[in-house]
Chain A
Amino acid sequence: MKTRTPDSHDFPTRRYDLVKEFVIALAVISLLTVGLAAVFSSPDEKAITMAGWAKAAPNDVVATAASELAGTSGSATYGPPYNHNGPGQMMLGVPMQRWGGVRVPVDSAGLVLDPLRGATSDQAARTALTAWSAATPAQQTAWATAYGDALAKVPDGDPAKVAAGDYGPVPALTSAFLALASSGGLEGTLTASGTFYGIDATRSLLLLSDGAYLEDNARASNLGGDQWGMMNEFGNYPGQPWMWLYTFWYQVKPFSTSDNADALVWGLMALLTLGLMFLPFLPGLRSIPRWIPVHRLIWRRTVTHVKPVP
């Protein structure tokens, strides 16, 4: 039998002071907030600087610079929206990442070369830049790849222990890049991107995330992607617990092992969100509250409306 929900205005009423309720709620929430802020404060781990990265993990800076020059770094092979060097992820065969287009173009080799061209006054570095520019793209890639491979073979990736080889100007370039990063002058050249105001950190963040140092820091604080890191923050703070379901999918198969995990998780979350939004129209799901009568904990007394349903 179909049922009809009676008009709420046809029921007996009771005094209810909405304004008083809001004012009391505002006072309680304000006091609670001030109390929580006073007791627990909030996290503010200082941002990693390029100078800090160079000091703490110089070999990582050199290896990252070599990978940018070789075109093997994460950003170099990423695809849209940064470049055309990767296919991008697919959602059930639909190339949505590619459809977004390359609207934030980033030349990975430029992450290393542009700051050096603009900042270095070191003669050896200038000679190396000239040699790099004079070489063919194939030669550049061969030099940088060989140097990157050589770095990977020595303990801790220490450039001083790399075996002799045909690396062209790459060791000089990466060494100069490390020196520039150590000087603290790298952020400005990457972030400003030719403008006075440096408010777009895309290039510096891509460079930082191409290295291992940022992730090592995060993993040490249990913030890795497979550690529910998406919803947490540094320190013992609640982070974004409302993102638990989104983060959950990354922890389980098939998402945890899929090359298209991000696209699949976003697709699933979009579907679930639409399901939640249009729940009133979904047969079965909309009847769950009738089948599991939690509502009787809320409406404990039977209240009869005044006017009968026609």
Chain B
Amino acid sequence: MTTPTVADTWTARVADRIAHLVPPGQALPDRQPAYVASWIYVFGVTTLAGLAVVLVTGSVLAVGGATWWHVSSFGHFVNSAHLWSTEVFMGSMVIHLWGKFWMAAWRGNRALTWITGVLAFVASIGAAFTGYLSQTNLDSQWISTQAKDGLNSIGVGAYFNVLNPGQMLMWHIVLMPFFIGVITVMHIVLVRRHGVVPPIDAEEGVR
């Protein structure tokens, strides 16, 4: 009987895989390429910061429950912070997206980085939308009864019922944040793996 080497264990393979997700020293480097010198780069970080504030304010709302903010002035304030952090988060992400478009940031084997970014954007729209459906007020009544027609028209409404606030709240506070969290981690790992895309004018011809 042969004794398995350390490298043969599942744990060792996963550990090796994680260790090589990004080049050595690039997980959290304290230096960046010299061309990373524009305000546009800030919006990736402000998007992350916005997401953090969205999660924190949403978590405080979760402590009080789905309808707490209707009857508590502090709850209403937290809801306001949740709303405005969402606006800032989405605004930052849109600017980040446009910036990356004009940089053609998918160059140099970065297509998956771009795709995960778009997925995060689409998922964030879904998360915000389910938030509007979970407010238990007139906005929820109107938006849900309007939105049902679009989702029903493509058969999705049979499974994703926007008129059921119980289902929408679960999507809003569990499924969407989980997906956005996972896709955001993937996006950041890919950014660190490939580094910040070099300038278009730095490209060189190849035979």
Contacts and interface: CB of A to CB of B under 8 A. Distances in A.
Interface of A: 1-9, 11-19, 21-22, 25-26, 28-30, 32-34, 36-38, 40-48, 78, 80-81, 88-89, 91, 96-104, 199-202, 205-206, 208-209, 214, 217-218, 223, 225, 229-230, 233-234, 237-238, 240-243, 260, 262-263, 265-267, 273, 276-281, 286, 289-290, 292-305, 308-309
Nearest to A243: B125
Nearest to A22: B45
A88 B153 contact: yes
B16 interface: no
A233 B139 contact: yes
Contacts of A302: 199, 201-202
Given A47-B136, A262-B153, A201 B80 contact: no
A242 B76 contact: no
Given A6-B204, A309-B206, A34 B81 contact: yes
A92 to B, nearest CB: 12
Interface residues of B, number: 100
A217 to B, nearest CB: 7
Given A2-B206, A16-B30, A286 B70 contact: no
Contacts of A304: 202
15 contacts: A9-B23, A13-B34, A14-B31, A17-B30, A19-B28, A32-B88, A34-B81, A45-B139, A47-B141, A80-B155, A102-B158, A242-B94, A280-B115, A295-B102, A298-B40
A9 B206 CA distance: 19
Given A5-B108, A205-B145, A286-B106, A46 B159 contact: no
Contact of B138 (A21, A22, A217, A267): A217
Contact of B165 (A33, A201, A279, A305): A201
Contacts of B118: 273, 276-277
A46 B46 contact: no
Interface of B: 23, 26, 28-38, 40, 42, 45-46, 48-50, 52-53, 57, 69-70, 76-77, 79-85, 87-88, 90, 94, 99, 101-104, 106-108, 110-111, 114-115, 118-119, 122, 125, 128-129, 132, 135-147, 149-159, 161, 163-167, 194-206
Nearest to A80: B158
A91 B154 contact: yes
Q: Is the interface of B mostly helix, strand, loop or mixed?
A: helix
Contact of A229 (B37, B114, B146): B146
A30 B53 contact: yes
A71 to B, nearest CB: 19
Residue among B33, B88, B201, B206 with the highest chain A CB neighbour number at 10 A: B33
B153 A266 contact: yes
A42 B125 contact: no
Nearest to A276: B118
Given A7-B195, A25-B46, A229-B146, A299 B158 contact: no
B68 to A, nearest CB: 12
A46 B137 contact: yes
Contact of B152 (A1, A100, A233, A243): A100
